[in-house]
Every structure is written in C-alpha cells, then in structure tokens.
Chains A and B, each alone.
Chain A
Amino acid sequence: MTRLFIFWSRLRGLFLKSKLEDEMSAEMQSHLEMQIDDLVRQGMSPEEARYVALRKFGGVDQLKETYRDSRTLPWIETFFRDLRYGFRMLRRSPGMTAVAILSLALGIGANTALFSVVDAVLLKTLPVQHPEQLVIFEWKSGRPFRTSGMSGTSNVDIAPGERGLSLFRYDVFQEMQKTQAGSTESPLSDLFAFAPVSDITARVGNEPEVINGQAVSGNYYQGLRVNPIVGRMITVDDDKQNAAPVVMLSNQFWEERFAGNPFVIGQQLSLNQHSYTIIGVTPPAFNGTLQVGYHPDVTIPLALEPQLRGEQSRLGTTSEPGVWWLNVMGRLKPGATQEQARESLNTAFQTSALAAMPPPRKANQPAQIEPKDYPRLIVEAGDRGMLDRRKSYAPTIYGLFIVVALVLLIACVNLANLLLARAAVRGPEIKIRLAVGAGRWRLIRQLLTESLLLATLGGIVGVLFAFWFKGALSAFTDDNNGLLPSGVELTLNWRVLGFTLALSLLTGLLFGLAPAWRATSLDLNSTLKQSGRTTGGRSRLSKGLLVVQVAVSSLLLVGAGLFIRTLYNLQRVNLGFNQENLLVFAVQPELNGYKDEQLLRLYQQLFDRFDHLPGVRSATFGKVQLIAHENWFFDFLLPGEVEGTAPEHDTMLQVIRENYFRTMEIPLLRGREFTAQDDDHAPAVAIASQTFQKQFFPNEEILGKRVTFNYRKRLVEIVGVVADTKYQSQRKEIEPLLYTPWRQEATEIGVMNFALRTVNDPTALTAQVREVVRDLDNNLPVTEIGTQSARSEKTLAQERTYARLFSFFGALALVLAGIGLFGVLAYSVSQRTQEIGVRMAFGAQVWNVISMVVWQGMRLVLGGLSISALVGYVLVRLLNSKYFGPDTWQQRMKQQLYGVTMSDPLTLIVIALLLALVALLACWLPARRAAKVDPLVALRYE
C-alpha cells in the first residue's frame, strides 16, 4: 500500500514539476536564511555566517538533484528524453526514415489484415451473453454404426475405423431434450437445436429471390440469451406443428429489404409460397451460430420446416424418420463442466441413436453391433458457434500467415541492416560515451527507443495499410471456393489492434536489438582510432541478412511462378464442350411446389419461349451445372450383378434435354441421342460417356446393355455413347458419366440448370430471360445467371487466389530485397572510396571498378539463390515423401499445382533470371557512384 502512496506522489511530482521546483528552492532558501540569522545573533558577521551556513548545509545543487530524483519518476523522464532524441535522429535522414516506415507499414499492415481474418474466422466469439458457457454436441461411433441419411456440414476429428458427425436426428434430439429438461440437476440450463435451410424462395415486393435461412428449436434464442431489437423472439410455443407460422428476420436482411422499418412486425412474408408472420428482428452483430460465413436471412421454428420444404423436409414425420441434419448446442450452468454435460445426456443419446439405426442393407451385415461401436456423445466449446468449416479453413489461413510473416521478416532484416549502417556511422560517438562512463544498458535503451519509435510509426501507418489490405482480402471471401470462407466480416477490433501493437513492438525490438548490441560492444580501441571504417563483423552480418532476403524472395517468387502456370494450364484445359457464348442460369420450381405433370409442363413452356428467343441459337438444360464443383452420383449394378454380393460401382449422373449434346457441342460417338419419345411411357434409356464404356464395358458391345440403379431399382438401357467432358472442375479427372432424359426423371428435376447458346454476347439476354420466366410465373426466381466461361473461372478461384497472393508477396519481397541490396552496396562503396581511389591511381579502369562492385552484389545474390535452391530441394523431397500428412496445408498446396511439377525447370530459370536482373539494377547506382570516384580527391580525403 505504501508503495502505491509513493508512486502516486511521484506521479504528482512529474506533473507539478515547476511548482514543486519553486517550493524546494524557497524552502532551502528559508532554511539557509534562518541559519544565518542564528549565527549572526551569535555574533558572526553576515558574510562569515553565510559561509558557515552553506558549509553546514552541504552541497545545495547535489542535494537538489537527489531531491528531484526522489520526487518524480526518473525513468519516465529519461524515456521522454530518449523519445525526443529519437525523433531528432529520424528527422535527420528523412529519406531512409520514409523507406523504413514504408516497408514496416507494408509488413505490419499485411500481418494485421491477415490477423483480422484469423480473428473473424477462428477467434471471434458469439455476441451473446457468456459465450464461454455454450457447448456443442457431436458424436462418434465405430464404423458398423450407420445413420439413415445426413444433410449438412460436418467435420469431426476421428481416428481410422471411426465415424463421427456433428449432426443429429430430430427424434434423437427430442430424447436428449426430454432428459435435460426433466432433471433439475442437469448441468445444462438449456439445450437447443438449429440447422440451415438454404435456398428459400422469398417474395419481398415485386421480385422473388432466393435467400438463406435456418430452422431453430423453440428455446434457441432463450438458450443463447439473445434479445431481439424489434418485436419478439421465437419461443417454445411457436415451435409446435399447429402453431401459427412465424419468422424472424436477420438484422442485415431487415435493413436491406425492409429499410429498417420497425412496422414490419405483423406483416406477412412469403416463403416458398407459404405465408409467415414477421415477429421480430435479431440484433446487428448476431449472425447465428451456424458455420462461419453462412448468414441466415430468416429464421423459422423447427416444427414448420416440413411445411416450408415439402418433400425435401429433413425433419421427418411420424412415418418417415427424417435425416441427421440438426446441430445441437447447450448452455452450461455456472460451475458445470463439459464432461458433466456429456455424461448427463450420453445415455439418452445412445439409446435413441441405436433405436434410429436403419436395418442392415447388405446381406453380410449383422443386425446388432457391438458396444464398442456404440455411438457416444462428444462435447466441444461452443463460444464461436459451429466449428466444422472453421477447422477446414484453419490450415490455409495459417499457411498464409506464415507467408506474410516471412515478408515482414524481410522488412525487418532490411531495417536491421539500415540501423547497423547508421550505428556504425555513429560508432565513435557511442564509444566515447561508453568511455566516459555511460551505462551500456542506458545506451542500448536509447538506441532501442529509436528503433521502437520507428516500429511504432510503422505500425500506425500499417494500420492504415491494413484497412486497404482488408478490403483486398474481402474480395477473396466472396468466392465460395476461395481461400477464405465467404461472407466473413473483417473488422479491426481491439484484439486485432492489440495484435498490431504487439507486433510493432516486437519488430522494433527485433531489428533494433542486434545493431544496438553491436554498436555498444566494448571494442573501444579499434573504433576510436579509425575514422569509422568497419570491417569483418558488422558487414558480414548485414551481408548474411541480405542473402537470407534473396533466398526468401526467390522461394516466394518460384511459388508464384508455379501457381501462375497452374492457372494458365487450368484455363486451357479441354473441357469437352464449347463454353463460349453460353448463358447459364438455374431455376428451382420445386421450391414453389411444382412437381410431376405441372413441372414437366412448366419446362416445356419455358423451352417453347427460349427456343424462339432472338439471339438464342439453341436452348437446353442439365441437372448438374458443369465446372462448378457440383456432383451427383449413385451406385449401380452391371448386368448380371445382384445386390448384396456385387462390388460397388459408382457413376456420375446427369439429366438432360434431348438437344443437350448438340447445344453443348459434345460429339456423339455411337448409337443415338435422346428424343421426345423417350418419356415415362417408353422404356428407360441412358447414354454413356466414353470413359464409362472404357471402364465398365471395355471389351464388349455397350449398346443395348442394361444397368440397374439402386436408388429406385431402375433399370436403364444404354442407347448411345458420347465423348467425355469435364464435369466437376477443370482439374478433376474424368470419371464415368451416365446421361438420362428429363422426361423420364420427373422426380429428380426440381432444380435445373439452363444453358442457352447465343449468337452474340450472352449477358445481353439476361433481362429477357428473366422476363420469360416472370411471364410464366412471377414467383419463380432465376438464380446465378451468367456466362459459362465466368462460371468456370469462378471455379478456379482458389488457384487464382494462390497465384495472386504468391505474386504479390513475391514481388514485395523482391522489392525489399532490392532495396536492401542497394543499401548494402551503397554503404560499402562509401566506405571503400579510399581503396577505390588507390586502385584507380594504380591504373584500374572505370570498367574494373564497376565490375568489382557489381560482382560484390551478385555474389550475395548467388549465395541467396543457392540457399533457396537447397531449401527448395529439401521441401520438394519432403512433400514427395510421406513426411507431411495428406490433410496438412503443405500437401494441399502441393495438390493445387496442375500441369507443373514443383521443380519445374522453366519456372526456376525464369525466376533466377528475374532476380539477377533486379540485382543488377540494384547494383547499378552504387557501381556508377564508385566509377565516379576521383582518385585524387579520394586519396586526399582521410
């Protein structure tokens, strides 16, 4: 406590300095006068009295110093003094200071922006009360345990031989809820479930659109302790089958579509042709608990999901059990642990899950499974919402982080070099100060203050850069298959800014400590004698640093080269069909309740109009959108095979219109195409791709063969063979593919992807396409309309991202290395003017001098290149061996390459030449300056 008093007094002393100073002088003055008075009274003369008084008092000034030191906080004062000194030093060389701050700002800004991604994706907790009380439930089991079907995203860490899912079935959830609610001693205060409901047709105003939503159990909002900003939230009473249909809006949806009007409460919203009453709006920061990047615009109670989704309902009914699709979370009571929560519900879960297991499908599967394979609950922290997608993005983000950190490292190294050079120049001054007794730590502290000042300034500018970088990174979060999850909001909040501050201080220490240490090392003699010329130690360090810089930038650039070539290769892959002038869009009539006859009729009507639309050469559709990471496949049986005994064959599937091959320009190789006669009264037919034939009927005639699909016990006869096309993406190998005609697949064509071959620019027809659809049904939205080429490009988003990132950082690293090389050589030349003068006096030509300097620089670059070659070699060997597991980001990045090997000679040579060129450029100026040295002047200069 007393220490606090002292500190407080000292703090006051700091601020009241002048007042206290006056007081002190006054007090001492009065002391002396009183003493003098006494002595005079004793009989001394005034002058003698004064002399004696002063002697008795002691050294006044010394005393004042001691007094001052006790009165204030000396270290703050020295700190401010150092700070002022640092500012002065920086102002003296504005050019270098600007370059230093700029390179620091770039490095720190990039790191900050990336950390905001880490924060948003991996760290940010839910904006609810006490998020640390939330837990997520998942489960694991042995392989023999099966589920009756699943829908959703799941990413549970399992061992080989295990299954795991973060999804639950509704009846299983209800059992768990009964157990939790039924016991007052349950460690959980709430247990709730939720799941995404994507692709809902909503009608707000005139245009129908497709939005995303979610379905939640009645106690969802209560469990999260989230309060609506307008209206009321969904309660348990709304989550009943015969309850009035209600819906909650997300804040963003409310702002965008309803202009933030509080009077929407009570209005009706049309979802999938059903009417829901709007009852409330969630607060701004709350985006739900679902996978990162998924923002539900609307929320409905779970019990209403079947009404919304109709036949596609996941919830199930009393007759149909539904699928495993719900995420389950709970809130712990204060003091309860995750393990307690798990134990309290495990039995209820296990019993109901086992009861939910479907009967064995294959003949050799046992009806019962062993207890060791029983499903058991797992509990994870729920403070950030569902983690599955976050986990899959983590490796990529960390990989990026490392790259950016490397660039910052290079910037630091540059700065360290810079400071080393400057410290060398001030060498004599520092040595003198050391010689007269200044503490070494004191001097180091002063030098460090300067570098910390530089780092802090760089950090401040870096925050500005971070804003800009953040915007660029947001572009990467828009593509669904990009590096980062889409729809993530990057903010520079306190955590991120705190990170920036810590990073700035760390870099300041990093590049400031070594030079400060070196500069104050106790090698007094040599430097005091010389005129500031340094040899050996100092320049070896800075040269070593430069070599490291060159190595890092060349590695980054090689990465960039490889990915650019990958992108180039992928863009030129032969897709098997003509993607030019192809307008593609999706229509989802099943969301509006179309089926059977009605559905077929709708499509026919659409085609009647599309076929005759001016500017359209040919119109067709397919169930699966090509080159869009979509796939649809099933297992089937070859002729003669019987279910239960046959090995599993899989094939990709596609449902098409009769003119599909002609429109897409896929050549028919054998047999016939589909016709309008291939409808549900005619025998079921299919057309195979060439790969299908090669894989399943290599040596026999395929036409006329029948294969059976397990999913509806359908038997189809193969009547034609077409050439192969790429299906899922440009890079995925071609797999066997079977086409079926649309008229025979009425239950599978609720959503179709149209493709129109146009005469000119496809996008010019966008408005007319929308109009055609609107004319037929103005509740039917048209989604994802664009050209096929654009769609294919979008699929390459990840590769493009890698190429861009590596190029950007590689270029940045190269520029920094170039600056560093320039600095090192310029300094070296300025130090060696004498030597150059001597050489020239002895007959060296200008050319000799230039080549000497250039060779000095190139030697360093060669050193850097060899190091990077060595590191690259080791990396390639590691990646080719099994050292990195298949799921690590290292392996994943390697798999990104297409058409190039990691040690691609062309790329390596080009990068090496590029580096050499930049290096030559960096050497040029110092070399010229060396050449201009006048031997007479140099020799005279000492």
Chain B
Amino acid sequence: MVRDSKHEVLPGTLNLLILKTLDTLGPLHGYGIARRIEQVSGDLLELNQGTIYPALLKLEQMRWIKTKWGTSENNRSAKYYSITPAGKKQLAKEEEEWERTSAIVTRFLNPAEK
C-alpha cells in the first residue's frame, strides 16, 4: 500500500479530536487517547504522542475535561480524563464550526455549482 505523506495535525483540531474521543469512548488515559487517534486516522496523522499532553492540560484548564487517577487494564496506575458537560457543549460547537468551515471551502473550490 502506498502511504501518502503524513499530514501534520492542525493546532486547533487536536482539541476536537481529543474531545470527540473522550465523548465516544468515555474516560480514557493519555496513552489510550493517543492510540485511538492513531487508529482512527489510519496512521495517516503524524503525531508525536507526547504532544497530546499540553493539549490535555489546556483542555483541563478550560474545564472541558476533568482528571482522576486510577488503574489501567494491565494494573498500572494512570491518569484518566473524562469529558465534562461544558466540554460536551464545546465539542458540539466545534463540530458545527468545522462542518461549516469545510462546507464554505468546498463551495469555494467548486464554483461551478450555481
């Protein structure tokens, strides 16, 4: 299989990806979030796993996610993140904005549609 060149993650979209992941999968630790993003993007996104941590911190500061220490599947202690009601609202907002932006861009790129 020919691999396309990997795409860099746009800065703002990481928030969206993390929130969506937590919304879909429920509480998850940092490693789990990183793996999920890798899987869903089909390994097409170039992402240093560590970069999610600053993003997670910011999301926590904004009160969109909350944290709790717990034990993982293989009995390791890990910090679990879960989405908050405010976070759910933010997720909905960002999804809508993303769709709107891409719709505008698509329309722009296909001016033939009258």
Chain A nearest Cβ from B76, distance in angstroms: 5
B51 x A58 contact (CB < 8 A): yes
Q: Does A696 contact B (CB under 8 A)?
A: no
Nearest CB to that of A66 among chain B residues?
A: B54
Q: Given A5-B63, A6-B62, A37-B74, A31 and B57 touching (CB < 8 A)? A: no
Q: Does A27 contact B (CB under 8 A)?
A: yes
Q: Does B13 contact A (CB under 8 A)?
A: no
Q: Does A343 contact B (CB under 8 A)?
A: no
Contact with A along B45-66 (1 / 0, CB 8 A): 0001111011001101111000
> Which A residues, 1 to 36, have Cβ-Cβ distances below 8 Å to chain B?
2, 5-6, 9-10, 23-24, 26-28, 30-31, 33-35
Q: Given A2-B62, A33-B76, A66-B54, A57 and B30 touching (CB < 8 A)? A: no
A30 x B51 contact (CB < 8 A): no
Which residues from B are CB-within-8-Å of A60? Answer: 50
A5 x B30 contact (CB < 8 A): no
Which residues from A are CB-within-8-Å of B30? Answer: 27, 31
B49 x A67 contact (CB < 8 A): no
In the assembled complex, the Cα of A24 lies from the Cα of B76 at a distance in Å of 15
Contact of B78 among A30, A57, A71 (CB under 8 A): A30
In the assembled complex, the Cα of A37 lies from the Cα of B76 at a distance in Å of 11
Contact with B along A62-86 (1 / 0, CB 8 A): 0100110011000000000000000
Chain B nearest Cβ from A73, distance in angstroms: 12
A56 x B61 contact (CB < 8 A): no
B48 x A56 contact (CB < 8 A): yes
Q: Does A437 contact B (CB under 8 A)?
A: no
In the assembled complex, the Cα of A26 lies from the Cα of B72 at a distance in Å of 14
In the assembled complex, the Cα of A59 lies from the Cα of B54 at a distance in Å of 13
In the assembled complex, the Cα of A822 lies from the Cα of B61 at a distance in Å of 57
In the assembled complex, the Cα of A828 lies from the Cα of B77 at a distance in Å of 67
Chain A nearest Cβ from B108, distance in angstroms: 31
Interface core residue of A2, A5, A34, A67 (most chain B CB under 10 Å): A34
Which residues from B are CB-within-8-Å of A59? Answer: 48, 50
Nearest CB to that of A33 among chain B residues?
A: B76
A67 x B72 contact (CB < 8 A): no
B76 x A28 contact (CB < 8 A): no
B62 x A31 contact (CB < 8 A): no
Which residues from B are CB-within-8-Å of A5? Answer: 61-63
- How many chain-A residues does the 8 Å CB contact rule pick out? 27
In the assembled complex, the Cα of A273 lies from the Cα of B77 at a distance in Å of 93
B51 x A63 contact (CB < 8 A): yes
Which residues from A are CB-within-8-Å of B61? Answer: 5-6, 9-10, 70
Interface core residue of A9, A24, A27, A59 (most chain B CB under 10 Å): A27
B54 x A31 contact (CB < 8 A): no
Q: Given A5-B63, A30-B77, A34-B76, A57 and B49 touching (CB < 8 A)? A: yes
In the assembled complex, the Cα of A9 lies from the Cα of B63 at a distance in Å of 10
Which residues from B are CB-within-8-Å of A33? Answer: 76
A63 x B53 contact (CB < 8 A): yes
A27 x B78 contact (CB < 8 A): yes
In the assembled complex, the Cα of A63 lies from the Cα of B51 at a distance in Å of 7
Contact of A34 among B31, B50, B60 (CB under 8 A): B31
Chain A nearest Cβ from B28, distance in angstroms: 12
Contact with A along B21-60 (1 / 0, CB 8 A): 0000000011100110000000000001111011001101
Which residues from B are CB-within-8-Å of A31? Answer: 29-31, 34, 49-50, 78
Chain A nearest Cβ from B13, distance in angstroms: 18
Nearest CB to that of A6 among chain B residues?
A: B61
A27 x B74 contact (CB < 8 A): no
B54 x A67 contact (CB < 8 A): yes
Which residues from A are CB-within-8-Å of B49? Answer: 31, 35, 56-58
B54 x A23 contact (CB < 8 A): no
In the assembled complex, the Cα of A5 lies from the Cα of B51 at a distance in Å of 22
Which residues from B are CB-within-8-Å of A27? Answer: 30, 53, 78-79
Chain B nearest Cβ from A288, distance in angstroms: 57
Chain B nearest Cβ from A2, distance in angstroms: 5
Interface core residue of A6, A59, A63 (most chain B CB under 10 Å): A63
Which residues from B are CB-within-8-Å of A67? Answer: 53-54, 57
Nearest CB to that of A27 among chain B residues?
A: B79
In the assembled complex, the Cα of A59 lies from the Cα of B61 at a distance in Å of 23
B50 x A58 contact (CB < 8 A): yes
Which residues from A are CB-within-8-Å of B58? Answer: 70
Q: Given A27-B78, A34-B78, A9 and B50 touching (CB < 8 A)? A: no
Nearest CB to that of B78 among chain A residues?
A: A30
Which residues from B are CB-within-8-Å of A66? Answer: 54
In the assembled complex, the Cα of A2 lies from the Cα of B74 at a distance in Å of 36
Which residues from A are CB-within-8-Å of B50? Answer: 28, 31, 57-60, 63
Nearest CB to that of B48 among chain A residues?
A: A58
Which residues from A are CB-within-8-Å of B79? Answer: 23, 26-27, 30
Chain B nearest Cβ from A72, distance in angstroms: 11
Chain B nearest Cβ from A160, distance in angstroms: 69
In the assembled complex, the Cα of A31 lies from the Cα of B35 at a distance in Å of 11
Nearest CB to that of A41 among chain B residues?
A: B74
Which residues from A are CB-within-8-Å of B54? Answer: 63, 66-67, 70
Which residues from B are CB-within-8-Å of A35? Answer: 31, 49
Which residues from A are CB-within-8-Å of B57? Answer: 67, 70-71
Contact with A along B65-103 (1 / 0, CB 8 A): 000000010101111000000000000000000000000
In the assembled complex, the Cα of A679 lies from the Cα of B50 at a distance in Å of 114
Nearest CB to that of A23 among chain B residues?
A: B79
Chain A nearest Cβ from B70, distance in angstroms: 11
Which residues from B are CB-within-8-Å of A6? Answer: 61-62
> Which A residues, 293 to 325, have Cβ-Cβ distances below 8 Å to chain B?
none
Chain A nearest Cβ from B27, distance in angstroms: 15
Contact of A30 among B29, B60, B62 (CB under 8 A): B29
In the assembled complex, the Cα of A610 lies from the Cα of B76 at a distance in Å of 109
Chain B nearest Cβ from A22, distance in angstroms: 12
Interface core residue of B49, B51, B72, B78 (most chain A CB under 10 Å): B49
- B residues sitting closer than 8 Å to A (CB atoms) are 29-31, 34-35, 48-51, 53-54, 57-58, 60-63, 72, 74, 76-79
Q: Which 9 A-B pairs have CB atoms at the shortest separation, nearest pair first?
A: A58-B48, A58-B50, A63-B50, A9-B61, A31-B31, A34-B31, A57-B50, A6-B61, A30-B78
A-B contact sample (7 more), CB < 8 A, given A27-B79, A30-B79, A63-B53: A5-B61, A9-B61, A31-B29, A31-B31, A58-B49, A63-B54, A71-B57
16 example contacts (A-B, Cβ-Cβ < 8 A) are as follows A2-B62, A2-B63, A6-B62, A9-B60, A26-B77, A26-B79, A31-B30, A34-B72, A34-B76, A35-B31, A58-B50, A63-B50, A63-B54, A66-B54, A70-B61, A71-B57
- A residues sitting closer than 8 Å to B (CB atoms) are 2, 5-6, 9-10, 23-24, 26-28, 30-31, 33-35, 37-38, 56-60, 63, 66-67, 70-71
